[in-house]
Structure formats: C-alpha cells, structure tokens
A and B are shown apart, each in its own frame.
Chain A
C-alpha cells in the first residue's frame, strides 16, 4: 500500500490518493490535501467535511443530492466550496473513500 506524508503524518493512500484509513485523518492532514488541490480550508469547508465523515462512518452512501439536502450546504454552495467535481474532491479531503458508482 502506498504511503504519503501530509502535515508531518504518514498516511496510507490508494492509487487515486484517497486515504485508506479514515482514522489517520486530522484537520491538518485535510488542510494539506486541500492545499495540494489549490484549496484553502475555511470553517465552512470543515463543517461539510465533518458531515461527510459522519455519514460515511454510519455506512451511508454519499451523493451530491444527499449533501445538498442535508441542510449543511446546498448544491450550489458545495460546488463553490469544492469546485469542479465537489463530491470527489471533498471526500478526498475528508479522508473517506471515494463514493462508488455502481456502474
């Protein structure tokens, strides 16, 4: 398994750069991954990241729609916080697995 150093911490990552072990995540690790993706994290970002981590910990599936309906952030806001492909980017920074599509 590949390893990578973020904020002085060695973490296990898969070949797409997603953390293999959500327990290795810290706020500092998140900030470092974000920086690598040209993003500076604000409290708003962390609020969304916490929500994603909670949902995944409960074993629930993530979709852009479900994030938009969560009351944490609307879809437009989600795109503004994590531009481009927000779910892919946000899950990477949140240290959880990339949401799997079934097809």
Chain B
C-alpha cells in the first residue's frame, strides 16, 4: 500500500481528507491524518466571542467527527519532517513513512515575537482574539470596560483572516454604542499597511465605514514593542500610541517543527508553486491553507477553494502524472460592520475586490462591497455551512474559481 499523510486536521486538512477518501484508489492508497489534538475550533467564531454574540461552546467540536471512517486519524506531536527520507518523525520516536505529504498545519499566532507583549499584562489588558483562550479572556475584559482608549494593532504581515481586525473595531463600536458608552471609548486602529486595506477599491469603501464610526486609523505603524508599564505601543519610527486596552494581531508564523525541514521560507511557511501548491523543493510534498506561502489571504475560504485544485493535483501525482490544475488565489469573506449589517468581498491573485452581486452574477443575493443585513445573516449562516457542508465536502453553490461576472469595474 502507498500512503498519503496529511499534517493537520483543521479546515484545509479535513477537507482534503474528505476529498481524497473519495478520489484516490483505496485499494492502492491509504490516508492518515496527524494532528496534535482532537479539538476543531470554528475559527471565524472567535471574533464573536469577545462581544458575547457566540459563547465558547458554539465554536468547538471534535476533529475526528469530520474525518471519514476509512481515513486513519492519529493524535500525536510532530517533531520534524525528513523530506529526504519521506518520513514524519513524532515526539516519542515513532516515524511515519509517506509517499505523498500534504502540509496543512496552519499558522501560529506568536505574540512572543514582539517585545513586551507577553508579560504581566497579557490577558489582563492586552489580548489577542485569534486563539480560543484570548477570545474568551477578551470577553471578560470588554464586558466590564467602562471607557478609555481601546487600541487594535496589527504587528506583522501576513496574518490570518486579514479582515478580522477591521471587523473587530466595527463590532466594538456597535458593542459600546449598545452599552451606551460609545462616547467614552476612543477606538484606534494601527496597521503596518498604508491603509485600512491595500487594494484601492475596498480600502476606499472600508475607510469611509471607519470614518463614519469615528475610528482613528494609524497607518505605516510597524510595532517595535509594548511598554507595559506605560501602556504604550511604540513603532520603529518612534511614534507612540497609548492604550487602556490593547487587542493585538500577533506575528503569525508557520509551525516551528517545519523550520528544519528544508521546505519553508524564513517565516516557516511551506514554499509552493502558487498554482499547483506543489513544494518547490520536493515533488511529493504539497501544502495548503495557511501553512503554504501562497500570495493570497490566510483564510478558510482560500483553503476551501484551493482544496478543489489540490485534490485534482494529488490524484494526478498519485497516478504518475505532473500536477496540472492551477489555483487562482480565489478568496472571499463576509465582513461584519456592526449593528446587524455586513459586507462581502471576493477576489483572487490578480483581481481586487470589486462591487457587484454574489454568488449569482446580477442576482446575488449577496451584495459585494455593500453594507447589508443579508450579508450579516450570510455570515451567521456560515457556521452551519462550515460544519455541515464545507468540512464534509458536500456541494456548495459557489465556484472555487474566481469570476468577474456580476462585478463592476471601478
């Protein structure tokens, strides 16, 4: 028997396991998925926990409930990959041999990379919301917040779900308005980019929403460190922003154990061809989702669309052919704007988010780059779609390929 090993049972790894279980000749191929634990978090839900919209139990299920029965699921800590010997080494000494390896280990928020971030104040008045623990701790903090400066800061690019910190400040605006203390809270958004977003059309639209909500944006702010004593973040060019509460997007890095594999860049992301997702170093290694160095957003929707392409390429490679299917970098995201409304963006490697209708050109019903109630309901409905359709590879009425149909050139 030949073997496909998938590292990681998050969004990308789970979808790949479900696809390959059907597509590969199972008399010839066995599939094993490895992960360090059996907890699957619905990560888009982390954003809602700080504001009490979701409770912690809304976002947690078991990973093995979504892995097909004829795929082996093993909980184990990975020590290293020996890509020369086609082996994954586990902590404890066991080695797992593979013929094809799919790395789907995601990206890891690493606050320790920023001086002063993880110390006495961590989870007291400094938080992330990209981890379950951070989102829950932030909920406890915000419910008692009586006023002051709330700063949302992005420390480094790329990071998971690029739109999430914007959604956070939009939701914070609505949260404090509902509590009747919006006038006592100053909301500040700092980013290393030159604008709220970098693609021009979406930046213009989102900047006007920020302005309307009286949220201050500080651009080109690259965080050098945090002064915990003074409650200040400082940028490399010497600017300072004071805070009472700090919410941070930490530096994101690929898994530590990948560093020695010879497969990754200097942020531990697996270097792949951006079309085929095949390693540029070893032909029998592929990467998908946040673990890959694809030049598109680190987001579940990207993993979902990329999986259609990668599954075809794996089958080709398994049959001795060169992978020929090309991923276009398709991504789309609902963006919560607060007060029961949201917007939606759809883009790929070459096309920026544009206004229009989605998924059916001209019909929608979702409006791209428009703020509507339906987009908000779409975002809420997505939780069910994620668990019941997306992970299990059931058909959804959206194409994995990006299309300009239904979009207006601006």
Contacts and interface: CB of A to CB of B under 8 A. Distances in A.
B237 A101 contact: no
Contacts of A66: 265-267
Nearest to B161: A103
B192 interface: yes
A84 B197 contact: no
Given A65-B156, A83-B237, A102-B162, A75 B224 contact: yes
B293 A102 contact: no
Contacts of B236: 64, 75-76, 78-79
A18 to B, nearest CB: 14
Contacts of A78: 236
Contact of B222 (A64, A69, A101, A102): A64
A63 B157 contact: yes
A58 B287 CA distance: 20
A88 B237 contact: no
Contacts of A85: 194, 220
A103 B199 contact: yes
Given A69-B266, A75-B224, A103 B156 contact: no
A7 interface: no
A16 B83 CA distance: 42
A64 B157 CA distance: 9
B26 to A, nearest CB: 36
B68 to A, nearest CB: 32
Given A60-B265, A63-B156, A103 B197 contact: yes
Chain B interface, DSSP helix/strand/loop, else mixed = loop
A60 B220 CA distance: 22
Nearest to A76: B236
Interface string A88-103: 1000000000001111
Nearest to B237: A79
A65 B163 CA distance: 21
B406 interface: no
Contacts of A101: 157-158, 193, 198
A102 B295 contact: yes
Interface in B266-324: 266-267, 293, 295-298
A69 B298 CA distance: 22
A103 B162 CA distance: 6
B297 A64 contact: no
A61 interface: yes
B15 interface: no
Contacts of B265: 60-61, 66
Interface centre among B156, B237, B296 (most CB of A within 10 A): B237
A88 B198 CA distance: 13
Nearest to A100: B295
A43 to B, nearest CB: 22
The 6 A-B pairs of least Cβ separation, nearest first, read A103-B162, A101-B198, A79-B236, A85-B220, A66-B266, A102-B297
5 contacts: A61-B293, A64-B236, A101-B157, A101-B158, A103-B163
Given A78-B236, A103-B197, 15 more contacts: A64-B192, A64-B222, A65-B251, A66-B265, A66-B266, A66-B267, A69-B266, A75-B222, A75-B224, A75-B236, A79-B236, A85-B194, A101-B193, A102-B158, A102-B162
Interface of A: 60-61, 63-66, 69, 75-76, 78-79, 83-85, 88, 100-103
